[in-house]
Amino acid sequence: METSRISSAGGSSRPPQPTFVQISPSSHLTFDGKGKPERMVKSNFTLKNLTDGYVIFKVKTTRPHSYCVRPNSGVLKAAETAQIEVIMQSFENLPEEAPKHKFQIQAARVDDEPDDVTTAWKQIDGTKASAVQDRRLKCEWRNVVLPDGRLFNEGGPAHPQPHIPRTQSPTSSSSTQRKQAQADAPVATTARRAAAAASEAAAKKTDADADKQAADSNKPTPSTTTSSSSSTAKPTSTSATSKPKDTTTAAGTTVAKKTPSTTTTPASSSSTSGAGADIAGKKGTIANLVLLLLAFVLGVLVGHYVF
């Protein structure tokens, strides 16, 4: 139902008014939000017919777009009571215009029960004001949460409400996460590239050391060749030295004379070359281990930062 607006017409002094209905509460209409962020806040009041006949009533407000009144007009039989529900559905201009929010209740006695309350009121509005009961109610707010999260109480300024957290919508949360991911992307990309470069350098170093070690192991040494060729060319040198040589002395006696045996020793240059290859291989292995360890540490740091 649409709520009527209170008219500003009328003088400053009012004649005595009759009492057809009892209004409870009689002076203030309280809206209690209970500290919850609700879109609508409800209140109510009651009207009781104090006469022995029919009474019609209607409810008006200064802010018809902010409130819904159900019912906003009707008929009361003798001693009948009606409960009027008021729903605040807009918090516009609060708390700035809070003192301007008011309600007006009007009641008038009729002889018979009318078929149409609006038509009955048109007939009564043309009569004297003394035939209509007029009462105005002010508005009060208790623990009403405004759309911006503030807690509003009538009679005091709005203040922050720390105990009611404002929930973030899934769309805003996902948007924030996307922005954070976009901001972190360049750093993560740089870290990944550094780790990949370190791994690639370690792999190249390992391959180069392996090739060098293979080349050193396959290269023949001059001393080895000479020793082998001499052994091959003179197979009878050892047997010749092992046999005694007959020698005739001046007395005519034959004496067996031994010649020193020939012994083949490994070349010193071959030993030096093999030792150098072993040292180079060990150094290359240590360098490879250091590079692989560096790549592993960078990979762990990058994974911890990204995920």
Q: What is the pLDDT of residues 239-280, one digit of tens each?
A: 434 444 444 444 444 444 444 444 444 444 445 555 565 666
pLDDT tens, position by position, 47-75: 999 999 999 999 999 999 999 999 999 99
| Band of pLDDT at residue 3, cut at 50, 70 and 90 | low
Question: Under a CB-based contact definition with an 8 Å cutoff, are residues 124 and 132 in contact?
Answer: yes
Residue 7 binned pLDDT confidence (cut-offs 50, 70, 90):
low
Q: What is the residue extent of each domain of the chain?
A: 4-152, 173-214+276-307
Question: How far is 94 from 141, CA to CA, in rounded Å?
Answer: 10
Correct CATH for 4-152 of 3.40.50.1820, 2.60.40.10, 3.50.50.60, 2.40.70.10: 2.60.40.10
| pLDDT tens figures, 170-209 | 444 556 667 666 666 666 677 777 777 777 887 787 777 7
CA distance 96 to 77: 41
DSSP 78: T
Q: Is the pLDDT reported for residue 234 higher than 60? A: no
E-strand ranges in the chain read 4-5, 21-24, 28-32, 41-49, 54-61, 67-70, 73-76, 81-88, 102-110, 132-142, 144-145, 151-152, 245-248, 254-257
Contact 108, 63 (CB under 8 A): no
3 state SS for 240-278: HHHCCEEEECCCCCEEEECCCCCCCCCCHHHHHHHHHHH
- pLDDT at residue 255, rounded to an integer: 43
Q: What is the pLDDT of residue 299?
A: 78
Q: What angle do CA 99, 104, 105 make, to 5 degrees?
A: 150
The dihedral formed by the CA atoms of 194, 199, 200 and 205, expressed in degrees to the nearest 10: 130
